[in-house]
């Protein structure tokens, strides 16, 4: 049987994972909302090659390296990182795997926030001990 966590327990792991980021990265993250949803909606899937049941996380916003001097000149909605709880749980066999996968997905999406592409994120993740 696949492990399932309460939303509160899942979000606590997300928070703990975020806190493990080195401060040199964590301190540069600004105007980003991190949320947990069960599954991606149609808008989130637009442009994705993943199905509703495959997508584990998504970054939506303007990457840090693409923000010009205009960014924040007027009220700016926060960027959004979404982790899809049901999909992450379905990909894991134990609660320990869920914790590891949450950190992995969160760090992956934060890589997109910093403007990294998939190849750069994979290379960086090899150097980052989860």
The CA-atom distances, in angstroms, between 115 and each of 7, 54, 101 are 29, 23, 21
pLDDT score at 1: 74
Could you say which residues of the chain have pLDDT below 50? none
Cα angle: 76, vertex 82, 86; to 5 degrees: 160
For residue 130, the model assigns a pLDDT of 57
- What's the confidence (pLDDT) of residue 76? 80
Q: Which two tokens stand for residue 90?
A: 């379905």
pLDDT tens digits for 57-68?
999 999 988 887
User: pLDDT at position 57, please?
Assistant: 97
Cβ neighbours around 111 below 10 Å, total: 22
């Amino acid at each position: 049987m696949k492990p399932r966590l309460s939303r509160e327990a899942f979000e606590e792991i997300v928070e703990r994972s975020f806190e493990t980021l080195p401060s040199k990265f964590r301190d540069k993250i600004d105007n980003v909302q991190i949320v947990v949803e069960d599954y991606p909606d149609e808008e989130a899937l637009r442009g994705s090659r993943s199905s509703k049941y495959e997508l584990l996380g998504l970054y939506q916003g303007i990457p840090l390296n693409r923000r010009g001097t205009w960014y924040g000149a007027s009220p700016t909605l926060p960027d959004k990182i979404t982790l899809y709880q049901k999909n992450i749980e379905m990909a894991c066999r134990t609660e320990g795997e869920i914790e590891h996968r949450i950190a992995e997905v969160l760090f992956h999406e934060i890589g997109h926030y910093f403007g990294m592409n998939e190849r750069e994120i994979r290379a960086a993740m090899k150097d980052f001990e989860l």
